Structure 1
Amino acid sequence: MVQKGQIDHLLQESAIIVPPDNLKQAANLQNYEKEYADSINNTEGFWENIAKELSWFSPWESVYENTYPTFKWFLNGKCNITYNALDRHLEHNKNKVAFLWLAEDGSERSFTYGRLYSLVNKFANGLKQIGVQKGDKVVIYMPLTPEGAIAMLACARIGAVHSVVYAGFSVGALADRINDIDAKVLITGDIGIRRGGHIDLKAIADEAIKSCPTLTNTIVWRRLGEKTTLKSKQLDFDELMNNQSPHCDAEIMDSEDPLYVLYTSGTTGKPKGILHVHGGYMVGTYYHFKTFWDIKENDVFWCTSDIGWVVGHSYIVYAPLITGTTTIFREGTIDYPEPDIFYNIIEKYGVNVIFTAPTALRMLMRYGDKNSKKYDLTSLRYLTCAGEPLNPEALKWAYKILCGNGEWGHIVDNWWQTETGA
């Protein structure tokens, strides 16, 4: 536990880290103070201009309504977040890589925007086939794989509300969340993989559903194939998709219609279900990602979080797709199977922006500097950190090793919360 004296010591850090001139000159946001003033002094016009950069089925009647304790955005506007994440990229970027998924064993799978669009639609049609409708609740208990993201997008596509449960939570935690939102369907995998070992997700799911009376079906992504047996009311993920049409019109959603429910971690009490909606969340994450992550058209982005957290929702799935970015995500830990895999990925794929946690940096620090020196890390413009305090030692180390002491990159410390979606 950090003691008061230690906190006082940390607060006395006075070093100033300034971004390289070339990054400042090319930044998407050139004048933060003016941008902030505009957002305060002309809130309606500020957010309206940003929202107009996205596609809407019909425009809003007013930008926002503040009737404390509720706050509504883009009233009566019609949209669907998946239309902006997928459809609007098909004309010009159908063959651009949307997701590049990396496995611990070195294998990889890439999904272009065109392919992802088809797979999401096929799974959406599969959900419709088993009776999932607009407003139904679907719990997703999946490892960090493309199938988890496809499940999220497919739910949003047809207006179902997804609730992702981190695939490390217990039987009780999973059952509690299923019951709290009266979920109709559970989507799970048979196993997750971490440090070469198998995590039996299906065994956890099988036990949890015994106390979940609202579930009508469980869909299982079977990585182990026929070795994984299905029980009553359990369906195979791939078989549900196989014979479906690759076309599924995005459900027309009101801006305030629910997109997902994500539960807080419960560190300060009982986990609370946080609801995010299509319109406001779509505009907010789009703006935040392109502006404060300074995302460029051809960037490769890597977020080391998980879809079980809000960071994974916003910065593995939704915001990168809305901006048309190529996103890397990887199952497992960043130091396995070798301590240098983190640096290897940066060089091999030309990663430009990374979002990670201070714990990950401290993990890399323990291995020393020798692993990083074997690789060219100069593609990395920004390293952003959140999830916990970024201690000065980790910041200085990362700035030196990953940002070349400011020669080519910059480090950004930030914070977020489940309630704000970013």
Structure 2
Amino acid sequence: MNTYLASAPRFADTALFRFLQHYGHADLDALQLCAREEPGRFWAEVEDALGLRWTRRYRQVCDLSAGPAWPRWFVDGELDLHDNLVGRTASTHPQRPALIWEGDDGSHRELSYAELDHAARRLATGLSRLGIGAGDRIAMYLPMVPETAVLFLAAARLGAIVLPLFSGYGADAVASRLADSGAQLLVCADGFMRRGRQVDMLAEARRAAAMTAPLAHLLVVPRLGTNLTPPDVSHWTESSWADLLADSDPAPGPATHPADTPLLILYTSGTTGRPKGVVHTHAGFPLKAAQDMLMAFDLNPADRLLWITDMGWMMGPWLVFGGLLRGATLVLFEGTPDYPHPRRIWELVAHHRLTHLGLSPTLVRLLMTSGDAGLPEPGQLDSLRIFGSTGEPWNDDPWHWLFEQVGGQRCPIINYSGGTEIGGGILACFAGLPQKPCGFTAPIPGMIADVVDAAGHSRHAGGPADEVGELVLRAPWPGMPQGFWRDDARYLDAYWSRFPGIWVHGDWARVDVDGHWFIQGRSDDTLKIAGKRVGPADYESALVTHPAVAEAVAIGVPDEVKGEAAHCFVTLVAPIGRGSRRWRELETDLIAHLAARLGKALAPARIHQVSTLPRTRNGKILRRMVKAIWLDQALGDTAALENPEALDALRQCRETLEADA
């Protein structure tokens, strides 16, 4: 497979190259070696390069006396996270934009670093008046509005813990997380705009509050300007964000906390129905996010970054904590990137002079279906230097479309894979270095990654090249969790129970003969057909190369002969009747299409046409829900689902098939 090198930026002009030069590393390989063999030196250099200001210097970078699952980072160090994120830039560049917000309807707001600093200090005073202090939990149920960053900073000042919740959750999902965390305060918006329609959040927030006895306060951000009329009978107080700030003076002075003070509980959906509350710390999460932005994304002070995401997903807090620690300008977008037309996302780049844009492969595939209408107009991307991508595997055609037709081979696509529990990325591409379509150049320095077989033996270092195995991490890192909230046993079982002292991430991966890495999908999604292991992404990537297919998902279905058979589900560019002769002919053609690419032994048993596939708001297709519906299994946690009608479409498809049989 060919490698590609974008015309800009040159590696010699990147922040990673300057890091190598400043700390005396010959190249990226030498830096990787240092991180593996001298982790204390490496992480000390990282925090120094990010300019962390310590109110009390740590005495040891890492203490592993409790084992690799429970490291203590920056032992006895203390820092003022608010000062590191905002205060220092507010003192040197007070008018630099910290946050730029654009609503679904095109409205705009902007906060400078000085204004963000002032607002966070005022909110910290207001939260203190509500009784919020160190260790208390604050639930954030907000759309992509500037108040999200203000709340993160104010909570950090107080030593409180924020649990960001997906803005599309219903009351039950919010209530379950409130109960699990014991949150005392829920900060919500009265609503938001989506595709030109108002979405009511306040009613859902009140329903959730009514189900959660520990909750004492509901604080409402007036996004839509709704008049507050609190319920007559409730066990919580309800107040307006604007009123709370108006009555609060800015909290003075520093706000120092130990480096390992809990900062966030990031909930990630579980297949059993119970979400996992991943605990991140004051030093760990911001450092890891900012390190990845410096080394992989070449994000520098005053650069402008927009990522299409939600504050309830890891990339939302990652954007805020990492971006502010880098001194960048964050652009928050409330709407959907293809509304009211496919060029909306490119208009955002042009209007806000973005240097960095993060988007999902699913969004790229969606824009591709618009043809020329999905391409930017001349000059719209002149400011852009970097594309970012995470959350799901790429397919060749969308990758080439973005790199060549959209970006003109000028902007690299920084493919980025890690997760909520990682606090950032494991694998990435690097600005200014060659990359392969759909792949990763290398692990991010400090992530001591490997690919192992079922016995835990390396398939990479000295092993056969290009063989698929489990992605693991052989050493801890600062952005790792302090466990799951009040569930240490589940944390150990999830990541540390397979091989002694090794983090098993749950992804299949491989390293090709040139040293480039590829993710092959979740290891629990892997199909084993007639004794041959194959990832669902292999089917999906091949299917979307067919001109009739828009999107695809593959799952394994029990089979008496092969043990497991592949069933694929597709949405079509131009839907046709499922029972029609045209569809039967197309299904035969698609099966032959796959057999030609994967081999006859791996040809799927059936291909099913559906009107839509289940996905999250940021575009990630929920393969496990497809499998659960098709095999009539428990759905698990459905709170992240953006389009419930997709489950009905799958059920209807299954029922029709059963009736025909």
Please classify the TM superposition score into its range, dividing by the shorter chain length.
Answer: over 0.9
Q: Quick check: 2:338–2:344 contact (8 Å CA) kept in 1? A: yes
Where do 1:290-301 residues align within 5 Å?
290-301=294-305
Q: What's the secondary structure of 2:278's corresponding residue?
A: strand
| 2:87 paired residue number | 87
Whichever residue aligns with residue 412 of structure 1, its letter is I
CA distance in 2, matches of 1:226, 1:347: 32
Q: What's the secondary structure of 1:225's corresponding residue?
A: coil
> How many pairs align?
406
Q: Quick check: 1:378–1:409 contact (8 Å CA) kept in 2? A: no
CA distance in 2, matches of 1:313, 1:389: 22
Post-superposition CA distance 1:246-288 (Å, at most 9, x none): 3444431111110010111224652100000011223222211
Post-superposition CA distance 1:172-211 (Å, at most 9, x none): 1111100101111111111121101111111111111112
Whichever residue aligns with residue 61 of structure 2, its letter is V
Tell me if 1:414 matches 2:416. yes
Q: 1:240 aligns with which of 239, 244, 258?
A: 244
CA distance in 2, matches of 1:119, 1:290: 27
* TM-score normalised by structure 2 residue count: 0.60
Q: 1:57 aligns with which of 55, 58, 63?
A: 55
Q: 2:12 aligns with which of 3, 25, 31?
A: 25
| 1:395 paired residue number | 399
Moved more, 102-111 or 295-304: 295-304
**Bigger relative contact order, structure 1 or 2, given CA contacts below 8 A and separation 6+?**
1
Give the C-alpha shift of residue 401 in structure 1. 2.6
Post-superposition CA distance 1:76-97 (Å, at most 9, x none): 1001322211111122111100
CA distance in 2, matches of 1:15, 1:415: 21
Give the C-alpha shift of residue 352 in structure 1. 1.1
| 1:44 paired residue number | 40
CA distance in 1, matches of 2:316, 2:272: 21
Instruction: Return structure 1 stretches of 4+ with deviation > 6 angstroms.
Output: none
Q: Quick check: 1:344–1:375 contact (8 Å CA) kept in 2? A: no
Q: What's the secondary structure of 1:70's corresponding residue?
A: coil
| 1:343 paired residue number | 346
Whichever residue aligns with residue 299 of structure 1, its letter is D
Q: Quick check: 1:122–1:248 contact (8 Å CA) kept in 2? A: no
Give the C-alpha shift of residue 371 in structure 1. 4.6
Whichever residue aligns with residue 423 of structure 2, its letter is G
Q: What's the secondary structure of 1:346's corresponding residue?
A: helix
CA distance in 1, matches of 2:151, 2:60: 32
Where do 1:185-200 residues align within 5 Å?
185-200=185-200
Post-superposition CA distance 1:129-148 (Å, at most 9, x none): 11101111111111111112
Where do 1:357-368 residues align within 5 Å?
357-368=360-371
Query: What stretches of structure 2 of length at least 5 have no aligned partner?
Result: 18-26, 425-661
Where do 1:207-246 residues align within 5 Å?
207-225=207-225, 227-231=227-231, 233-246=237-250
Tell me if 1:314 matches 2:312. no
Whichever residue aligns with residue 357 of structure 1, its letter is S
Q: What's the secondary structure of 1:187's corresponding residue?
A: strand
| 2:357 paired residue number | 354
Give the C-alpha shift of residue 19 in structure 1. 3.0
Q: Structure 1's 80 and 291: CA in aligned 2 closer, same or farther, altered over 3 A?
A: same
User: Over the residues paired in the alignment, what is the CA RMSD in angstroms?
Assistant: 1.6
CA distance in 1, matches of 2:36, 2:111: 40
Query: What stretches of structure 1 of length at least 5 have no aligned partner?
Result: 1-13
Q: Structure 1's 384 and 224: CA in aligned 2 closer, same or farther, altered over 3 A?
A: closer
Identity %: 28
Q: Structure 1's 291 and 152: CA in aligned 2 closer, same or farther, altered over 3 A?
A: same
Tell me if 1:140 matches 2:140. yes
Q: What's the secondary structure of 1:227's corresponding residue?
A: coil
CA distance in 2, matches of 1:373, 1:78: 47
Moved more, 62-71 or 137-146: 62-71
Whichever residue aligns with residue 322 of structure 2, its letter is A
CA distance in 2, matches of 1:126, 1:247: 9
Give the C-alpha shift of residue 372 in structure 1. 2.8
Q: Structure 1's 310 and 249: CA in aligned 2 closer, same or farther, altered over 3 A?
A: farther
Q: 1:34 aligns with which of 20, 30, 34?
A: 30
Give the C-alpha shift of residue 378 in structure 1. 2.8
Q: Quick check: 1:255–1:279 contact (8 Å CA) kept in 2? A: yes
Q: Quick check: 2:82–2:255 contact (8 Å CA) kept in 1? A: no
Moved more, 348-357 or 221-230: 221-230
Q: What's the secondary structure of 2:73's corresponding residue?
A: strand
Q: Structure 1's 296 and 149: CA in aligned 2 closer, same or farther, altered over 3 A?
A: closer
Q: Quick check: 2:16–2:295 contact (8 Å CA) kept in 1? A: yes
Q: Quick check: 1:158–1:250 contact (8 Å CA) kept in 2? A: no
* TM-score normalised by structure 1 residue count: 0.92
| 1:10 paired residue number | none
Q: What's the secondary structure of 2:62's corresponding residue?
A: strand
Moved more, 265-274 or 353-362: 265-274
Whichever residue aligns with residue 130 of structure 2, its letter is I
CA distance in 1, matches of 2:146, 2:302: 21
Q: Structure 1's 373 and 417: CA in aligned 2 closer, same or farther, altered over 3 A?
A: closer
| 2:332 paired residue number | 329
Whichever residue aligns with residue 138 of structure 2, its letter is V
